[in-house]
Amino acid sequence: MPAKCLLTFIGIILLVSAFFSSANEKIPKNETTVFNETFSWQAMGNIALIYNPSLLQGQDQGNGPYRLGLSLLLDIYYKGFFIQSNHRRASGILQGAEFGYQLVVTPEWELDFISKTYLPSYTPKDIIDHANKNIPTLEGLKERSAGNGIGLRYSRYHHNSVLSVDFATLSPLSDADGWIIDVFYSYVLPYRNWDIYLSTGYTHYSEKVMDYYYGIDANEVSSARPFHQSDAGDRIQLELFAQYPIADKWSFTGGVTHSYYSKSAKESPLVDTQHVTQVMLGVLYVF
Amino acid sequence: MYSKWDIGIVLLMSSYCLTFTVSAQQKSAEINLSTLLSAMPAKCVTLTQGRQCFATVTLRWQAPIIGNYCIYQVGTNKALDCWYNQQQNTLIFEFESSKSVQYTLVENNSEQVIADTHIEVSWVHKASPRKRRWRLF
């Protein structure tokens, strides 16, 4: 069934791409691709105070969900291949970075082959050690590896906004073995030297993805953790992010994201809440 | 070969020329010291290369003598502001440009530029061939 959905979705994307390709025939040929662009890169360092509570029960104990994040971010582009870090995300060099290849580029839309981490890993033992307290729901639970996926991203650009749709499978690169649809819309509101981003997102996680992260296998059952098989789940996000230049190479970055997860997430014995609010305040240095 | 008179004339002329040069340099230095056009802030930083940069800028000027003066933005014919029978003043205005801009202080009667300054526009991120998609978490 997911394979059929994947094929259907790819078909829709290709049809939509073909439609817009023909609609944009008036655009000069040299503007429809960027394959003749030269190599470009940008390296950045980010220091941020991050409030990042978890869906998982007990994870926010110990030092709490606050942490100071230090990251090295890289943007590299060469003849259609790209690595794009997320400037706002203070979660290390790779998590949050997107590796890809531009299949079709026009000024209005773009189709990329993409690989990125869609879901973070978690190690129950480390969470318990960090909390310095036993967390019965996580005690003896197996590690969940990162949800690295590959797929297609369709991006539609408007003046000051972008709508992107990712359709990705986690099967080849992750133990999660499922698929994800991720829709994200972001509108930038420039105010003097500020960039203010108003964004919203919708993510659908297939049953296998949800079950890998929030399901309880028969061999993981305990008194605090009954057997649980997760259904497919959804997430809706609202985000406000702002960036302001402080000096030649420095900028202030700050943002808040609120995520609402569907009932299927909350039904897991591992999960505490359906609502998660994350906050990040930091400075970005461009090398 | 040379008479005492010849040597005397050469020395006298050399002395005169030297005195004139020193005097001219002193006068120039005095004008430079008393003539001033400065911008605060002198740099405007924008997030991305090529984007408009905004700043509230104060231009201070000072001339060697009381007179009529105007401040111009280089490349435009319209004066930002003019002053009559004044020797110094300030101009506060809203700067908006994607490129560095030069300003000149012009003496109205002679239309001579007597001082200049510039506001440099720089950026945090260089322009990228890729359009960006931003996301926080």
pLDDT category of residue B125 using cuts at 50, 70 and 90? confident
Contacts of A84 in chain B (CB under 8 A): 130, 132-133
- Test B45 with A245 for CB contact under 8 angstroms: yes
Count of CB contacts below 8 A, A vs B?
96
Looking at the whole model, is its pTM more than 0.90?
no
Mean pLDDT of the A67-79 span: 84
Chain B residue at shortest CA distance from A154? B133
The complex's ipTM? 0.71
Mark yes or no for CB contact A88/B135 under 8 Å.
yes
pLDDT tens-place string over residues B28-67 = 444 454 579 999 999 999 999 989 999 999 999 999 999 9
Measured at the alpha carbon of residue A12, what is the angle toward residues A11 and A17, in degrees to the nearest 5? 100
Partners of residue B98 in chain A, C-beta under 8 Å:
none
Beta partners for residue A112, in sequence order: A102, A153
Inter-chain contact A241–B126, Cβ cutoff 8 Å? no
Q: Cα(A243)–Cα(B135) distance, rounded to whole angstroms?
A: 12
pLDDT > 90: what percent of chain A? 52
